[in-house]
């Protein structure tokens, strides 16, 4: 437990963190990688280059400081991050290294304003927070290993099938090389794939949502090839998978993880909203609902640029034909002439509230959404405007967590 004096000191630094948080986390990662370059094998360097990881950590530190006297209120965030840590292979011995460099970064950025009293309070607070993470992650490591078919660390899988789903997305059907069983996962979860790419100095790990229902002899991931764009380099791992990994290739993955999961105990209608490759975890949810809950009303809404980039469309439409409780709607921002000629979509442009209200039959539902950050922010804004309770809004970030509204 933190002392009352340390709690007061930490809370007094909240305004400073709001201003200097990103500078502190940027300096933290510089120090960490300078002193422990082996940790580059754990971190997504693309997120580092784009600044999204620094921003996510700054927000996490800020929230921890703001709620330092009620850390239980941020336990859901702790569990979400702990899932990712377990998936990546973060271990207890990593936490002292992080702590030392975080405290040093605070001192580097704040200079004389970082008094010995402040640094001591933050050292004490970090110890409490680190112990919380280590405890939660220890339970997760044990659960992943002990469940039927489970394992710890990374396991070799062979690519049994590779299927092109759109002009930018391919599905990989992964079967364990050892022929063993696979643990069931919750629809919405992801796995970590460790890539050792020729010519690259470090291992690269990426998380990919499982895009099929559990209970199969394989895991399926559907990966978008990330091309370069202004301010964003081409996706190193996604291009490696698309261009160099074929049927028969071997990849290494960790056991499924993540807390973005379908609540199967909730009997109310479900609304699944996806944008781009964000369709992957929601496709898993839809497959499970079609197999195990055929009476639950499901509205599936997907936004894509056009039919050429729309992955898994035929599979979803087949479920619609075979299940009267499932309805699906497509919104294309830039439909092709072929899309228009075949009436392949239901709305043109971007999802708005009036269209959403016209196709969702029952507002009293659970809403799950995933996609690019602008899409996520739009959906969050629309649902809040519709006065959907926050408890009914469930979402997953592809990459470091970010703010969905100024109110967060």
Domain at 270-396, CATH class: alpha beta
> Does the annotation place 208 within a ligand binding site?
yes
Give pTM, 2 decimals: 0.92
Among residues 203, 185, 235, which one has the least CA distance to residue 398?
235
The per-residue pLDDT for 51 is 72
CA-to-CA dists, residue 231 to 168, 275, 305, 309, angstroms = 20, 21, 20, 22
Question: What pLDDT score does 42 carry?
Answer: 87
Which CATH superfamily includes the segment(s) 154-254? Translation factors (2.40.30.10)
295: confidence class by pLDDT, cuts 50, 70, 90: confident
Does 99 appear as a known binding residue? no
Q: What is the pLDDT of residue 49?
A: 74
pLDDT band at 150 (very low <50, low <70, confident <90, very high): very high
Place 399 in a pLDDT band, splitting at 50, 70 and 90: low
Is residue 408 over pLDDT 70? no
Give per-residue pLDDT as tens, 261-287: 999 889 999 999 999 999 999 999 999
The catalytic residue positions are: 95, 137
**CA count, 13 A, side-chain hemisphere, 224:** 20
**400 annotated to a ligand binding site:** yes
Nearest alpha carbon to residue 260 among 281, 231, 239, 237: 281
The answer to whether the annotation marks 374 as part of a ligand binding site is no
CATH 3.40.50.80 domain locations along the chain: 270-396
Q: What top-level class would CATH report for the domain 4-146?
A: mainly alpha
Burial of 358 (0-12, 13-18, 19+ CB in 10 A): exposed
Residues forming CATH 1.10.490.10 domain(s) in the chain: 4-146
Is 335 annotated to bind ligand?
Answer: no
Q: Annotation-wise, does 367 bind a ligand?
A: no
Residues of the chain with CATH 2.40.30.10: 154-254
């Amino acid at each position: 437990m933190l002392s009352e004096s340390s709690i007061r000191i930490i809370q007094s630094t909240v305004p400073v963190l709001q201003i200097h948080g990103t500078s502190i986390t940027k300096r933290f990662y510089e120090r960490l990688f300078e002193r422990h370059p082996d940790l580059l094998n754990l971190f997504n360097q693309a997120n580092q280059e784009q600044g999204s990881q620094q921003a996510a950590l700054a927000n996490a530190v800020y929230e921890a400081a703001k709620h330092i006297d009620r850390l239980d209120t941020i336990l859901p965030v702790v569990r979400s991050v702990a899932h990712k840590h377990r998936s990546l292979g973060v271990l207890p011995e990593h936490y002292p290294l992080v702590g030392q460099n975080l405290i040093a970064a605070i001192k580097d950025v704040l200079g004389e304003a970082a008094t010995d009293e402040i640094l001591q309070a933050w050292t004490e607070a970090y110890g409490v927070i680190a112990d919380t993470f280590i405890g939660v992650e220890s339970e997760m490591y044990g659960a992943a290993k002990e469940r039927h078919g489970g394992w710890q660390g990374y396991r070799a899988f062979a690519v049994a099938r590779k299927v092109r789903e759109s002009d930018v997305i391919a599905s990989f059907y992964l079967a364990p090389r050892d022929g063993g069983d696979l643990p069931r996962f919750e629809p919405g979860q992801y796995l970590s794939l460790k890539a050792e790419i020729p010519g690259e100095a470090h291992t690269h790990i990426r998380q990919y949502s499982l895009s099929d229902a559990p209970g199969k002899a394989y895991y399926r991931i559907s990966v978008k090839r990330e091309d370069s764009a202004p301010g964003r380099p081409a996706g190193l791992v996604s291009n490696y998978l698309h261009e160099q990994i074929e049927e028969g290739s071997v990849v290494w993955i960790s056991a499924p993880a993540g807390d973005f999961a379908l609540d199967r105990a909730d009997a109310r209608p479900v609304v699944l909203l996806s944008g781009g490759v964000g369709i992957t975890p929601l496709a898993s949810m839809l497959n499970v609902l079609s197999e195990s809950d055929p009476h639950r009303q499901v509205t599936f809404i997907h936004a894509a640029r056009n039919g050429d980039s729309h992955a898994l469309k035929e599979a979803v439409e087949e479920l619609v034909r075979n299940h009267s409780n499932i309805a699906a709607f497509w919104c294309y921002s830039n439909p092709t002439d072929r899309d228009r000629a075949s009436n392949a979509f239901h709305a043109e442009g971007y999802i708005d509230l009036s269209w959403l209200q016209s196709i969702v039959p029952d507002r009293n539902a659970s809403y799950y959404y995933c996609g690019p950050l602008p899409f996520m922010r739009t959906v969050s804004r629309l649902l809040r405007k519709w006065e959907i309770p926050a408890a009914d809004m469930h979402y997953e970030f592809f990459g470091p967590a970010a703010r969905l509204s100024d109110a967060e």
